Amino acid sequence: MKGAMSAISPPEVKPKPAVPAKPSHVTLPPAAAHSSQGPGGLSPPALLGYVGIDTIIQQMRKKTMKTGFDFNIMTVGHSGLGKSTLVNTLFKSQVNRRSAGWGRDDRIPKTVEIKSLSHVIEEGGVKMKLTVIDTPGFGDQVNNENCWEPISKYINEQYEKFLKEEVNITRKKRIPDTRVHCCLYFISPTGHSLRQLDIEFMKHLSGVVNIIPVIAKSDTLTPEEKNEFKQRVRKELEMSGIEFYPQKEFDEDIEEKNYNDKIREAMPFAVVGSNKEYQVNGKRVLGRKTPWGVVEVENPNHCEFVQLRDFMIRSHLQDLKETTHNIYYETYRAKRLNENGGLHPLGSSNQDDAPQSNV
Ligand SMILES: Nc1nc2c(ncn2[C@@H]2O[C@H](COP(=O)(O)OP(=O)(O)OP(=O)(O)O)[C@@H](O)[C@H]2O)c(=O)[nH]1
Ligand SMILES: [Mg+2]
């Protein structure tokens, strides 16, 4: 099994150059430490020496460690493609070995309503509340017209909630962030083309949320089929004018562009999900048992689940949050405030009476 699958070698997802390493210890030079204040509170001698600007990184780190942060992922796609299984995989994998809500060997039921699952994960003293919003699959109905509506409604409702908090006179110091930071769009591993419904769906969602397309159940494709299919999907998305995350237009400089180009060329990540563990070479691994061996979910030679997880969490988490806030939420916000002709879009006395957004 291993040999057959080892041809898969997408580029490694490297963490973006993040926060520079914290200085081992910052000692103020005597001039800065003992400088007397000049007129107006300024102390010119200190500015010539060490000011301590670099300590802002430590200060920010301390704040983030104290408050923690929210990160919200949504799964979307045709029914039966393994969305709920992948949610469970994400929580059971190295992110968190805890169960995502189902028993160890339970069958995962068909999803019938939008349901969110959260876990607070702590690593190196930093807390992250990871929420995965699992949605019911579509495509089973005779008429699939507008089947993206409940999804885009949910996404917009989270923007509305945030906006309500933001414009409140007595607003919270830290607004709980339930906005969807990325939407994993599951593509059926047909090996042929994208379905028309997928194109329509992604077109509608790409204006409101970061879309990360993934090829579901990739254990059903050979490495050659998988690579050809990935290439075709990318081409079809481009021809349909669907921009997925990381969007080319938001690359900030040439370094980021080169880095993101490599990732875009490796997308959509071809994933395998499982909520079962097996013993392989003396280690317990998450996998799918087949008559030919175990497909290991967290083995990069078997599928691209780890690349996807690293991409979302290790390298692009902050950027996903910023794009959500600065682009999608900002667009929603501007539209809502314009609709209301001013700075008071919503009644702050009774928030539940506030008009529902139809943006
Ligand atoms: N071969 C294979 N089967 C999978 C994979 N992931 C999930 N499955 C199986 O696919 C079936 C459906 O999985 P679910 O996770 O319930 O799919 P879903 O997309 O949540 O389905 P809905 O809730 O109806 O939208 C189950 O029998 C899973 O065991 C995978 O990566 N490969
Ligand atoms: Mg489901």
Predicted local confidence at residue 59, as pLDDT: 85
Q: Which atom of ligand 1 is nearest to the CA of 273?
A: 31
Long-range contacts of 291-297 (CB under 8 A, 24+ apart): 292/1, 292/4, 293/1, 293/2, 294/1, 295/1, 295/5, 295/219, 297/89, 297/93, 297/272, 297/273
Atom 1 (ligand 1): residue with closest C-alpha? 217
Atom 12 (ligand 1): residue with closest C-alpha? 80
Token pair in block for residue 279:
């013993």
Mean pLDDT by 10 residues, the chain (359 residues): 43 47 42 42 58 84 81 96 93 60 65 92 86 90 82 96 89 89 97 94 96 97 96 97 95 95 96 94 93 94 96 94 97 89 48 38
Using the mean position of ligand 1's atoms as its centre, give its distance from the Cα of residue 22 in Å: 43
Integer-rounded Cα Rg, in Å, for the chain is: 23
Q: Which atom of ligand 1 is nearest to the CA of 140?
A: 24
- The four Cα atoms 314, 238, 333, 171 give a dihedral, to 10 degrees, of -10
Predicted local confidence at residue 68, as pLDDT: 83
Q: For residue 207, what is the DSSP state?
A: T
Q: Which atom of ligand 1 is nearest to the CA of 275?
A: 29
Predicted local confidence at residue 168, as pLDDT: 85
Using the mean position of ligand 2's atoms as its centre, give its distance from the Cα of residue 76 in Å: 9
Q: At what angle do helices 330-339 and 149-167 cross, to 10 degrees?
A: 70
On whether the CB atoms of residues 232 and 193 are closer than 8 A, the answer is yes
295 vs 304: CA distance, rounded Å: 12
Predicted local confidence at residue 340, as pLDDT: 67
User: Model confidence over 48-69: pLDDT tens digits?
Assistant: 678 888 888 888 878 777 778 8
> Which ligand is located closest to the Cα atom of residue 138?
1
Mutation test residue for ligand 1: of 75, 79, 83, 85, the one with most atoms within 8 Å of CB: 85
Using the mean position of ligand 1's atoms as its centre, give its distance from the Cα of residue 232 in Å: 23
Predicted local confidence at residue 342, as pLDDT: 53
Note the helical H segments in 129-250: 149-167, 196-205, 223-239
